[in-house]
């Protein structure tokens, strides 16, 4: 256990987040997402929700320039509660909404996929890592 680190950020997840470079993506996926079929690196965090995990990831990962956050668009284009929660957890006012099959293609390029226990549909977020700033010496 590390002080000041969200307990949802396991050692394995922190390792992958640290290894990500600028513009690399992490997918925070719901329980329905085909993570193991399309991901080279998958971490399972059952019993969690996508907004919880996204907020934890954002506590250590800065945002890339736009688009920093892609959300899977619902079939009817309606913005769902879980999508609002994801945008808030990421601290993004204007996420990009991506068609389901285009989203799967984007997810295939992600550095890591974190599959949660989220059961709400369209509860998926792709976050791009920005440049980590360091305090001046």
Contact 73, 4 (CB under 8 A): no
Instruction: Tell me the pairing of strands 42-45 and 112-116.
Output: parallel
For CA atoms 11, 115, 7, 110, the dihedral sign is positive
- Does 32 participate in catalysis according to the annotation? no
Contact 123, 82 (CB under 8 A): yes
In degrees, to the nearest 5, what angle opens at C-alpha 125 toward C-alphas 89 and 120? 85
Nearest Cα to 90, choosing from 119, 57, 43? Answer: 57
- Residue 33's alpha-carbon distances to 29, 72, 93, 104, 125, in angstroms, are 6, 11, 24, 9, 11
Selecting among 22, 84, 100, 108, the annotated active-site residue is 22
The residues assigned a catalytic role are 22
């Amino acid at each position: 256990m590390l002080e000041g680190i969200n307990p949802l950020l396991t050692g394995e997840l922190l390792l992958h987040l640290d290894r990500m470079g600028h513009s690399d993506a992490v997918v925070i996926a719901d329980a329905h997402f085909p993570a193991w079929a399309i991901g080279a690196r998958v971490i399972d965090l059952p019993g969690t929700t996508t907004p919880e995990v996204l907020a934890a990831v954002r506590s250590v990962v800065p945002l890339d320039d736009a688009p920093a956050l892609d959300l899977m668009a619902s079939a009817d284009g309606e913005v769902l509660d879980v999508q609002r929660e994801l945008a808030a957890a990421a601290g993004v006012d204007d996420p990009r909404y991506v068609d389901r099959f285009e989203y799967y293609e984007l997810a295939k390029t992600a550095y890591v996929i974190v599959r949660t226990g989220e059961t709400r549909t369209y509860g998926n977020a792709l976050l791009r890592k920005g440049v980590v700033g360091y305090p001046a010496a």
